[in-house]
Every structure is written in structure tokens, then in C-alpha cells.
Amino acid sequence: MAGQQTVKTTDRNLPLNRIRNIGIIAHIDAGKTTTTERILYYTGKSYKIGEVHEGATQMDWMEQEKERGITIVSAATTTFWTPVFQTHLPQDSYRFNIIDTPGHVDFTAEVERSLRVLDGGVTVLDAEEGVQSQSETVWRQADKYSVPRICFVNKMDKIGADFLRTVEDIRTKFGVTPAVMVLPIGVENTFNGVVLLLEREAWVWEKGHLGADFAKQDIPADMKDEVEKYRAMLVEQIAGLDDALMEKFLNGEEIPINELKAALRKATINYQLVPVFCGSSLRNTGVQVLLDAVVEYLPSPQDINEIKGTDPKTKEEVVRHLVPSEPFSGLAFKIQTDPHVGRLTYVRIYSGTLQSGSYTFNSTRKVKERVGRLLLMHANQREEITQAQAGEIVAIVGLKDTKTGDTLCDENAQILLEGISFAEPVMSLAIEPKTKSDQEKMGVALQKLSEEDPTFRIKSDANTGQTIISGMGELHLEILVDRMKREFKVEANVGAPQVAYRETITQHAEGEGKYIKQTGGRGQYGHCLLKLDPQPRGEGYVFENAVTGGAIPREYITPIDKGIQESMERGFIAGYPMVDVKVTVYDGSYHEVDSSELAFKMAGSLGMRDAVGKAQPVLLEPIMTVEVTTPDDFMGSVVGDLSSRRAQIQGTTTRGKAVIIKALVPLAEMQGYVTILRSMTQGRASSVLLPSHYDQVPQNITAKIIEERKGINVR
């Protein structure tokens, strides 16, 4: 049977039940981009398979992605597929809007924003490695947005590949119920096909035909018992979630396949079961089965049916059904600067239709925006369209004020959808232009990059006058500086990466802020009394007004709050922002003539400084979860090295001949760790760092940091 199809671009306006908005999500190096490249080839979107190791993929189109063999930005594409194995399905074309996301934790924002707008996800796992740490992170991100998923156990041809062990990993580490849909034929270098359990069919792929040719065969004799065993388990799992099927099952009746599949689809969408498939994307085996599974088990916009938001004016809940006949609503989930067309805004359209050349309303920022052009994206290639409707993911040219997470809607039927939350940056570095001509270009470049990436922050250091950029890790910042150089032609000097420390308080304290200035004529008078209390970690800043009897007029309360926040941003111990503090202003006084907003802002700042000094302030540092996979020969050296970095070893697990060490370790101790780990293990170990939480810095290290900061400020 031939497995490559011809693209039918005329099929763009398909009914909603034939659209799938899906994302490919996984740990770094599990094979997401390779799987996506196969999907594009078999659906006829591309006529040549692009390989990651050759830097020739369609989806990894940035220079940095090709050089490093990793995905940095999520790439969107639209393609079409007609099911080939499922004869009970109508032989119609289905439209797939696919987003290929990065696996590296430094680019977590790309995964977060993609999952927010998708209806379903394909989680790719490495058959030898099983469920890795970043797989767990992206799985939790998908949980946050209730995205139904199917799993694809990739790399079945790899030495050490174990399908059933990976299924067990899915059960224990993800905490879900996997539904085994296929069994592999052969293992490692003999792997060449799969048995579809419900259909009791064996399919084998021919080598050397790019996976486009595959044939149905008899189930291997040595697998027949195993196939029946796992099929019976699967049928029982599905029947257990449907009363009518359970009755048939208990009566010993044979349940028709279409009834089983309808119940499994419902269970997948309701997140009761997670169908699991397997294959080898690199060896072009089993990908077509995965494509059929996307059609069969992942939801269409029609299955999602509705999205809830709030009315920006009344704050009451508003419901939009995901159909073209409802008023327009969509969510901007990504901004991209394109060298040819300028600023692109990626939008998931939830309801209604959108015409190019029309106007739309940004209900987040209360501004009207003009839709210049509408584009269908295929990675960095574009196809212009005149209209887009519910269920589509498109790029809009012409939106000036819209940012990531903003809602676009009909001005006469406004709705505000849930935005997108992003992690806080954990690493910073100083950057300065090399020449005068680079100065202006750098400002423009940083502005555009920060619009694209919500986890990239820019600020000026008041003490040194330097520009400080912050991001999710060393690789994240390195890529951003590289993009500045290549895309915006900015040459810059870059300082060593710095950890994003924070400050907080450990006990209750009270303080007084008095700002009195007499300069002949009208003076300045502001006076406030504050109480400070520590907040639980991660709770942030809370301001409370407890002033009674008009001791401070209402119009001066907001300036006090501003003064407090500005002083917290500057820090009190070592110049790092203060977090997790509750501040209550409870008393004060004012002067009929001399009081002003400025005076009370200064009083708030002075009161904060006074109170913090009595509240035992401490430094906080980002703590990371590190997961090191190493051959067991090097385990002792790796654990010893981690312990010298103030790590707390959480535990070890063995998988084949490798040992996986999990530990909590301060980010400050992990700079350049990857290089050291490689040299320590002859290049055979790998590590993944994930942000965990902030914790108190030991006293001796705090003193050292304060000393260093003083040195910087003196210079």
C-alpha cells in the first residue's frame, strides 16, 4: 500500500469535524521534529524528507536550529491526510494544523503558548529512555490546559528499546491509564512493523522506500497469544468506561470495532484513557498509523464545542461555540518578526470568521486593530488567504498593539479569554553595543525580541548604566544574542551569565516613612506607617490599605504603593528585586498645603527601607531539578561532583545499563556543567536542568554576593 498522499489545497474550508489542531510535544531528542517531517512527507506537504542531523528540516528553519539540531521556536504548518488503515472512516481528507514545539526547557514559553491554543497533543517518547524529566514537564503543561493526548513511542529500532516498559513508565510517571493500541513486530534492529490490536492486523514496512510502502501480513505465529492477551485487556479497558459496552462484555458478546472506537474516542477526549502507539520516525515505520490515530481519537473543534471567557465590561461569564456562525473571537499566542512581511501575529480562531482588510477589537488592551493580510503558515513559508474561520490557526499581518496572550474579538460582542502564564526568568547577563551605530540598532532588536518571547526581559541597571537581559537559561540567552547579531546585525559585548537572585523578609516588622522638605514657598510633606509580613514562597507582593479616619487622604494611597514597589524592585541587601511580602499601610499624617503624590511616594519608599531593615531580609536563589543519565561506571564521580555543588540527591533509578540521578541543586553552581559532565564521563552522560523553586542562600554565600555587588556598584 502506498503511504504518501497528494495535498488538496482546495480542502481548506472543511467542516469542523474534519479539522485537527494538534501539537507535537516531548523531551529534547525524543524525535518530535523527525516525526513532524515524516508527517509532512506522507501527507504530501513536502516531497523530500528533511533530516535534523543534516540541518535540512522544514520545521527547524532558523539558522541556529539547523546548526544545533534542536527546535528553538514552535513552527506551525497546515496539511491534509486521508486515513489509510481505518476502512470504517469516510475516505475524506482531514485538515491538520500542526505545531512542532521545542523540547529544551530554556524554550518552555514556546510549549506553553502552543498548548494553550491546541485541541489535542501527540507526546513523543524515546523507547529506550522512556518518560524523561522534560516529558513530565510538558505533560504537566498540557494538563494545565486540559489537552487530550495520544502517545507515540518512537525509536523502536534503537538498542535498548522497550515498548512495554515505556508504557509502564507512562502509567507511573504521568499518572494516567495508557491504552496499548499496537504491539511492535520485532525489536531494535529487527523492528519492521506493528500489529493493530483492535483490528487484529499486522502491517510491515519495506526498508528503503522512505516508509511510503507497507503491506498487510499474517500476525507472526509467536505473537498470536500476546496479541489476544493485550487485545482482551484493551477491550476490557474501553468497555469499563461505557455502561452499554460493559453489559455486552460481561455477557461474553463480541463488541463491534466501531463501537469500541467510538467509546475510546470519547474516553480520550475526556482524558480517561491515553492511546499508545509505537514506531520509528527515523526508519519511516509506523507514522501513518499515528496519523490515522490523530483522526480517530484526538478532538476536532466540534468535540471541544465551546470556550468560556468573561465580558470585559460586566465581568460575567461568556460562552462562545466553536462555529463560524458565532461572533468572532481568537487568541494571539505568538508574535514573530518576519524579514519579508514584518510583524506576524499567530492567532487561534475559536469562533466566527475573519476577513483580510477588516478591523478587529483587542479586548485585552481596549484597542481597534486592522487586519492587513491573513496568512497560512508552513514553518517560515506563507500562503495568503482572504478569510479564516473557527478552528483555524493563522498569522495576521498588520496588528500593531497586540501581544502574546491577548484576545481579539468582535467589538460589538466582546469577550476576554484566559491568557497565557509564563515562567519567570532565572538567568541574566549584561550586554552593551560595540559601537555607537550598534547602540540604536540594539534597542530596536531587543524590543522586537522581547515582543516575540515573553520569558525574555530587558532592564537597565541604575548603578552601572548597563543593559541587563534575562531569560530561562544559558542556551536561551546565547541564542537571543546570536539572533541579534544575525537577524538585526548588532555587534555586542556580553558579560558572564548571572543568576537571578531575589530578596525577601523572614519576620514581621514595622517601619515609618517621613519625607519633609522645606525649600521656601511650598514644601513637601508625606508621612506613613507600614507593617511588613512574609508571604509563602511564590505568593508575590500584596498591598493592603488599613488607614482609618482619613489619616492619609485616599488619593495618596496609590503613590505610597508605587513608592514601595519601586524600592522593592531596587532591592535592599544586594540590589535584587524583593518578592513574597505583604505590606500594610495603617497610619500616617498629611499637610493641607505641602502634601503631594510625590511626597507620599517618597514616604512609601523610605518607610519600606526602614521596615525591611528590621524584618531580617535574606537572599533567595533559584533551585533547579537536575536529572543526569549516566552509564553506571561513572555514577560515583557524578554523584560526588553534584554533592560538591550543594546538591541534594533525591534518588537514583536504573534503566538498562544507565543510571538516572535526580537532584535539587542551586543554579549558581551549575554554570558550564554540561561541558564538565561530558569530560567526566567520556561524553557518555547527559543532563537536563528544570526550574524547581526559590530557596534561601546560605549565610556565608550571601556575604560573598553582597561583597561582589558592592564592588560592582563602586566601579
Give the residue extent of every domain in the chain. 9-301, 309-417, 429-498, 503-615, 622-701
Most confident range, picked from 98-102, 143-147, 411-415: 411-415
Lowest mean pLDDT among 62-66, 296-300, 367-371: 62-66
* pLDDT, position 381: 65
Instruction: Judge whether 100 and 306 are in contact, CB under 8 Å.
Output: no
How confident is the model at residue 465, as a pLDDT? 66
Q: Whole-angstrom Cα distance, residue 135 to residue 169?
A: 11
Classified as helix, coil or strand, 256 is coil
Question: The domain 622-701: what is its CATH number?
Answer: 3.30.70.240
The predicted model scores a pTM of: 0.74
Q: Which of 6-10, 650-654, 711-715 has the lowest mean pLDDT?
A: 6-10
How many degrees, rounded to 5, is the angle at CA 424 between CA 418 and CA 425? 140
Mean pLDDT of the chain: 84
pLDDT class of 71 with cuts at 50, 70, 90: very low
Q: What is the pLDDT averaged over residues 635-641?
A: 92
Contact 362, 61 (CB under 8 A): no
Could you tell me the fold of the domain covering 429-498?
A: Alpha-Beta Plaits (3.30.70)
pLDDT at 9: 45
- The CATH architecture annotation of domain 309-417 reads Beta Barrel (2.40)
Q: Which pLDDT value is given to residue 58?
A: 41
Confidence of residue 459 (pLDDT cuts 50, 70, 90): confident
Classify residue 550 as left (phi > 0), alpha (psi -120 to 50) or beta: left
pLDDT higher than 50, residue 49: no
163 exposed, middle or buried (CB, 10 Å; 0-12, 13-18, 19+)?
Answer: buried
Q: Can you list the alpha helix ranges (DSSP code H) found in 152-276?
A: 163-174, 224-239, 243-250, 257-269
Cα–Cα distance measured from residue 159 to residue 139, given in angstroms and rounded to the nearest whole number: 26
Q: Please check whether residue 495 is in contact with residue 691, taking contact to mean a CB–CB distance below 8 angstroms.
A: no
Q: Kindly give the interhelix angle for 224-239 and 257-269, rounded to the nearest 10 degrees.
A: 60
Helix (DSSP H) and strand (DSSP E) numbers for the chain: 17, 38
% of the chain exceeding 70 in pLDDT: 88
What is the model's pLDDT at position 44? 66
For the ranges 35-49, 228-242, 636-650, which has the lowest average pLDDT?
A: 35-49
Equal CATH topology for 429-498 and 622-701: yes
Chain segment 197-239, per-residue pLDDT in tens: 999 999 998 875 555 677 888 889 999 999 999 999 999 999 9
Confidence class for position 250, pLDDT limits 50, 70, 90: confident
Condensed to tens digits (0 to 9), the pLDDT of residues 268-296 reads 999 899 999 999 888 888 888 999 999 99
Question: What pLDDT sits at residue 265?
Answer: 93
46 has a pLDDT exceeding 50: no
CATH of domain 503-615: 3.30.230.10
Residue with cell 526568568: 425
Residue 373 has pLDDT above 80, yes or no: yes
Give the pLDDT band (50/70/90) at residue 113. Answer: low
Least confident of 91-95, 264-268, 566-570: 91-95
| pLDDT given at position 66 | 45
Question: Who has greater pLDDT, 258 or 463?
Answer: 258
The fold adopted by the segment(s) 9-301 is: Rossmann fold (3.40.50)
Confidence of residue 3 (pLDDT cuts 50, 70, 90): low
pLDDT at position 377 over 50? yes
Are β-strands 329-338 and 342-351 bridged in parallel, bridged antiparallel, or unpaired?
Answer: antiparallel
pLDDT band at residue 45 under the 50/70/90 scheme: low
pLDDT, tens only, 486-532: 788 888 888 877 888 999 999 999 999 999 987 666 789 999 999 99
Residues 501-532: b if buried by 16+ CB within 10 A, e if exposed: bbbbbeeebebebbbeeeeeeeebbbbbbbbb
Average pLDDT for residues 59-82, to the nearest whole number? 56
Least confident window among 92-106, 231-245, 666-680: 92-106
Instruction: Please indicate whether residue 465 or residue 83 has the higher confidence score (pLDDT).
Output: 83
pLDDT of residue 189 exceeding 90: no
Per-residue confidence band for 336, with pLDDT thresholds at 50, 70 and 90: confident
**Beta strands 542-545 and 581-589, pairing class:** parallel
Q: Output 419 or 359, whichever has higher pLDDT.
A: 359
Asked whether residue 625 carries a pLDDT value surpassing 50, the answer given is yes
Helix ranges (H only) for 394-454 are 436-452
Task: Give the mean pLDDT of 566-591.
Answer: 93
Of 21-25, 132-136, 413-417, 595-599, least confident by mean pLDDT is 132-136
Contact 630, 682 (CB under 8 A): no
pLDDT band at 70 (very low <50, low <70, confident <90, very high): very low
Task: Give the CA dihedral 26, 30, 31, 32, nearest 10 degrees.
Answer: 0
At residue 42, what is the residue type? Y
How far is CA 673 from each of CA 320, 332, 669, 687, rounded to the nearest angstrom? Answer: 49, 37, 8, 9
